[in-house]
Amino acid sequence: MNGLILTSLALPLLGFLLIFLSDRNEKKIATISFWCSHAMGVSIVALLILWAVAGFPNHEYQWFTLYETGEYRFPILFYLDRVGAVYLFCVWAIFSIIVKYCRVYLHREAGYKRFFLTIFGFVFGLNLVILAGSIDMLFAGWEMVGIASFLLIAFYRHRVQPVRNALRAYTIYRFCDIGLLLGAWMSHLLFHESQHFSQLADLFNNPAMPPAGYASLWLVSTLILIAASGKSAQFPFCFWLPRAMEGPTPSSAIFYGALSVHLGVFLLLRTTPIWSYHYSTRFSVFVIGLLTVIVAGISEKTQSSIKGQIAYASITQVGFMFMELALGLETLVLVHFLGNAFLRCYQLLVSPSIVAHLLRVEGSTDTDFYIRNSARFQFLPVSIRNTLPEVLQNTLYVFSLQEGNLELLVRSVLWEPLKRIGATVNNMNPWLKFLYGLGGFALVGLVIVTAGINTKYLSIPISAFMVLASLSAFSQKHSPFSVWNAIGLSSILAGVAVWLLNPSAWFDVMIFAGGIIPAWILGIVVLAKLLKNDHFADSPFAYRAMAETQPQLSLLLFVSFLGLVGFPISPAFLGEDLLLSHASNHAPWFALPITIAFVINGIAAARVFQRLCMGRPTELNDETQYLAEISNAHKA
């Protein structure tokens, strides 16, 4: 069984590597995809059969320990139970359908190889999430799924709208990482060596002796709920999922109809012993699901595209799953998940055919064509909305058109305050910023020396400068170099702050720096080459499309972007976990600013990659060209 678990993970990774090393020949890519997807299917089916023959046990398998120092351990740990088995079966079935469908659907598509690369990377990350034995392992797969979503939403990168919607979705994903990162940190802090999923239920067996206090359990439950709500597009994050439908129809089917949208439900199922311990958190899950059902159900009625309607229908069903989880109906949730996943996948895959059929029918009629007038709809019940007074009908219509103004709400509460702070920092004179920083360090150092205070308190101003550097990168749009350097500076300050908190952690800080500094330097070199002859460097609206004109340099920029944000291909991923672990042992307050800095850095770095590498390669839009000409005129 252990070997089959590893094989189920290795085969999609093998498919990714083989496609990456192959040329752009569609036949070769289709053959590799066919055999790797079917081999993964055989492995998963054999694993589930062996698991069933063994009596459906909760099976845990530790492959090896990646890193261990003191009380910290990062084991490569896998876990299979009935929740994982259901999700794994669904992944195999839907992935096999999508691969077979795409081999023909994407014929002669310029991004044929790019699509299959991304979809195999997504499935590897998804299998890692499902088979993860701890929150740390789950977070690694969670990051892979997020990057794959970003790339597939922006698959048609010549158009501006898919690119913008990709960044919008990735921004929500990164915000959810705050909940998951801090949740992992609190699990280390509260449960110590018992944060494995297989051990969580045992911690709560005795209601009279919980593993932590009510306030601590409520906080970690809230963090988990934030991560789950964002990933599954639940209230108040409902707005991003319909916009994610800009990608190819098969990716919409596997991501936002069937699998990725249900990862929030999976996270809640995995952590049920934590958040279900008190009725208050159960009530919060129920209310979020109920509000999502109301908002998504109303907003669906005014969607102008069939994919947008299916997206909101899927969000609504996930909202019902949240309500079922709050009521303790875990088995019903698994059945509901399977039904919703297969139905939405089918609806999305046939949606182009339905639209084409309706267009043909409309073209063959001599009169106005309305779907509601056709015979098949004459027996449908009257909508509740039509029974309301006209004023309320119009109010609901405007509310649904604006999708509840949830995007405006989230932007004004979360992002605009951060951008204003960052803009204030960016507008300051560089010498003035330097003097302020030097004076602040000198003042704090003088107080520490005079009063005999521990030097670890120097980490307080350093953490403040770390957050300010991240906010500066977040609000900066004109200079890619300024953004990149601000991200690198913020990451280095994070390592310095942890070193001051615990000087004996210098080796762990070096592991973190070993991933950050090479990625930072590589990014600077690549940016210098990409922007060497750039005539629109001062225009914040320019999409340079360098993935088309400079594909090799764009790939290197993407790799450096992944390293700089701590993606699980870099030592920085382990380093981030180590920094949070040291924070929990020496200064728990430090976990919040360092997590915020990591999340904001990821958004800022993604925007640099997006604006430089995506867009139309032949020409810039008129607005961009006009702004660039105005900027050049001011310089002259």
**Chosen domain end from 301, 323, 358:** 358
Q: What is the mean pLDDT of the segment spanning 37-50?
A: 94
Q: In terms of domains, do 227 and 154 share one?
A: yes
pLDDT tens-digit readout, 162-174:
888 999 899 998 8
Range 433-447 average pLDDT: 60
More confident residue, 14 or 544: 14
Q: What does DSSP assign to residue 385?
A: G
- Is residue 337 within 8 A of residue 324, CB to CB? The reply is no
Give the lowest-confidence range in 122-136, 430-444, 542-556, 610-624. Answer: 430-444
277 & 425 share domain: no
Residues 119 and 185 occupy one common structural domain: yes
Task: Give Rg (Cα) of the chain.
Answer: 25
CA distances from 18 to 14, 35, 392, 557, 569 (A): 6, 11, 57, 22, 18
**Per-residue pLDDT band at 192 (split at 50, 70, 90):** low
- Where among 358, 377, 395 does a domain terminate? 358
**Within a domain: residue 30?**
yes
Mean pLDDT, all residues of the chain: 83
| Per-residue CA distances from 636 to 12, 80, 103, 531, 633 (Å) | 54, 66, 53, 20, 5
With cut-offs at 50, 70 and 90, classify the pLDDT of residue 336: very high
Do 453 and 517 fall into the same domain? Answer: yes
Residue 390 lies in a domain: no
- DSSP annotation of 457: G
Is the pLDDT assigned to residue 376 strictly greater than 50?
no
Neighbouring C-beta atoms of residue 74, cutoff 10 Å: 18
Q: Domain check: are 474 and 597 in the same one?
A: yes
- With respect to residue 13, please indicate whether it lies within any of the assigned structural domains: yes
Residues 449 and 536 grouped into a single domain? yes
Confidence of residue 150 (pLDDT cuts 50, 70, 90): very high
Note the pLDDT tens digit of each residue in 218-258.
888 899 999 999 999 898 898 888 888 888 888 888 877 78
Q: Is residue 505 part of a domain?
A: yes
Residue 370 lies in a domain: no
Indicate if 43 and 181 belong to the same structural domain.
Answer: yes
> Does the pLDDT at position 596 exceed 70?
yes
Give yes or no: residues 461 and 559 share one domain.
Answer: yes
Q: Residue 534 corresponds to which amino acid?
A: D
Write down the pLDDT at residue 366. Answer: 63
Alpha carbon distance 471, 484 (integer Å): 12
With both helix axes pointing from N to C terminus, report the angle between 506-530 and 480-501 in degrees, rounded to the nearest 10.
Answer: 170
What local confidence, expressed as pLDDT, does residue 601 receive? Answer: 92
Q: What is residue 603's predicted lDDT score, i.e. its pLDDT? A: 92
Position 62 in a domain: yes
The band of 555, judged by pLDDT with boundaries at 50, 70 and 90, is very high
Total structural domains within the chain: 2
**pLDDT interval class at 622 (50, 70, 90):** very low
296 plus 163 within the same structural domain? yes
Q: Are residues 353 and 426 in the same domain?
A: no
Q: Are residues 333 and 426 in the same domain?
A: no
Residue 372 lies in a domain: no
Any domain includes 392: no
Q: Which domain holds residue 429?
A: 405-635
* Residues 569/141, Cβ–Cβ less than 8 Å: no
Which of 157-171, 231-245, 487-501, 531-545 is least confident?
A: 531-545
Same domain, 328 and 470: no
Percent share of the chain, pLDDT over 90: 38
Residues recorded for the chain: 636
Boundary residue ending a domain (358, 389, 413): 358
DSSP code per residue over 287-329: HHHHHHHHHHHHHGGG-SSHHHHHHHHHHHHHHHHHHHHHTT-
Residue 55 has pLDDT above 60, yes or no: yes
